[in-house]
Amino acid sequence: MITDNEKLASTVMNAYFRELEIYSYQVNIDNYSAMLLALPSGDWPQDWVAFKGVKIDELPHSLSDDEAQAISDYQYRDRLRSLIRTERAEQSKTIRIRDVLKAQIGDSYDAQILAYKATQP
């Protein structure tokens, strides 16, 4: 049989790991957002729209290396935007789980998390 203390310890441990998960998602969001600053921000040029999903090694050889790189930059920008959305959605789910655990722990949440954290290597 699981005791109340064991239940609390398990809930605190789970909440701690949700805090780490939330932080990890935020690190990714921040990094992806910073990387976007070095990439094009506007719409795809009309004459390159057809290349949105084309692998770089499959682009026409009539394009210059600079054009191929620019297309790659647009593709990467789009990928990062998608990753940011995914990270935010997953972070939101984790926040909801953490909030449920937090409610179960109650007013001692911060102290319990700090105490558990102190036991970690």
Question: How confident is the model over 15-61, as pLDDT tens digits?
Answer: 999 999 999 999 999 999 999 999 999 999 999 999 999 999 999 99
What does the pLDDT read at residue 77? 98
pLDDT of residue 121: 87
Mean pLDDT for 4-8 is 95
Average pLDDT, stretch 57-77?
A: 96
Can you tell me the distance from the alpha carbon of 30 to that of 27, in angstroms, rounded to the nearest whole number? 5
**Residue 61: how many other CB atoms lie within 10 Å:** 6
